[in-house]
Amino acid sequence: MAFLPRAAAVAAFMAAACTSGSDPATTATAPPSITASGARSTSPASTPSMTPIPSGVPSATMTAPADPAGAEKEIKRVWERFFNPATSVEDKVALVEDGEMNSLMVEAFAKDERSGQIVGRAGTVRFTSPAEAEVTYALFRNSTTVQPFGRGKAVRQDDAWKISFTTMCSLTKYGADVPKAAAC
């Protein structure tokens, strides 16, 4: 006779699911259970427990490359080389993030008479991630300060530090005829 109470419970469950008007796929209750008295009961579905992250797992908040001092030196060299009139146009293109894609803008900046007179020096470098840094810089033209407190960015691309594309866009204003790339 144990068969009859189970069959009745299954029939009751199916009837309730069909007539309740709710979608069983979105209902957050566990399947009904039969109590000792034969009454049907439902309980809220249990939520899976969250597994804690082990304390030895590195967090994703690293804000500096493995060698910050070496990276800072490399970033400062990039800025000095970019603003050195003796640096070739091809080398300047290679010193800018996505320089190949934006070579017309970089070439125009490098060949422009007015921007060609600019010398730049990177000041402080503050890493915001292992592959990005904020850079303060100063720009000079003929021993006169043009931009004493510039703010730009450096990015790590193709295993090298480069002047960010957005910073390059902001530098075009120092030339006489340096058009910005369409993506600026």
**End-to-end C-alpha distance for the chain, whole angstroms:** 80
> Quick one: 158 and 107 in the same domain?
yes
Query: Are both 13 and 104 inside the same structural domain?
Result: no
Same domain, yes or no: 124 and 73: yes
Residues 76 and 37 in one domain: no
Question: Based on the domain organization, do 96 and 28 belong to the same domain?
Answer: no
Q: How many beta carbons lie within 10 A of that of residue 69, not counting itself?
A: 9
Residues 95 and 158 in one domain: yes
Calpha distance 163→83 (Å, rounded): 11
**Residue carrying the six token digits 């797992």:** 57
> Is the domain of 102 the same as that of 164?
yes
Q: Say which amino acid occupies 57.
A: V
Question: Quick one: how many helices (H) and strands (E) in the chain?
Answer: 5, 6
Instruction: Note whether residue 89 is domain-resident.
Output: yes
Whether 72 has a pLDDT exceeding 50, the answer reads yes
* Dist. CA 99–CA 19, nearest whole Å: 66
Q: What whole-number distance in Å separates Cα of residue 146 and Cα of residue 140?
A: 5
| Residue count (the chain) | 184
Residue 133 identity? A
Residues 143, 145, 150: CA angle, nearest 5 degrees: 140
Domain count, the chain: 2
Provide mean pLDDT across the span 31-45.
Answer: 47
Closest CA to 130 of 79, 68, 57: 68
In a domain, 153, yes or no: yes
Q: 177 near 108, Cβ under 8 Å?
A: yes
Least confidently predicted of 39-48, 100-109, 138-147: 39-48
Residue 158 lies in a domain: yes
User: What is the per-residue pLDDT for 89?
Assistant: 96
Task: Give Cα 70 to chain centroid, integer Å.
Answer: 23
CA distance 155 to 184: 16
- Checking if the pLDDT of 61 tops 60, the result is no
Q: Which residues, 6+ apart, have CB-to-CB distance to 169 below 8 Å?
A: 105, 180, 181, 184
| 133-162 confidence digits (pLDDT tens) | 999 999 999 889 999 999 999 999 999 999
Q: Which domain holds residue 9?
A: 3-41
| Average pLDDT of the residues in 83-110 | 96
Listed range (37-46, 89-98, 166-175) with the worst mean pLDDT: 37-46
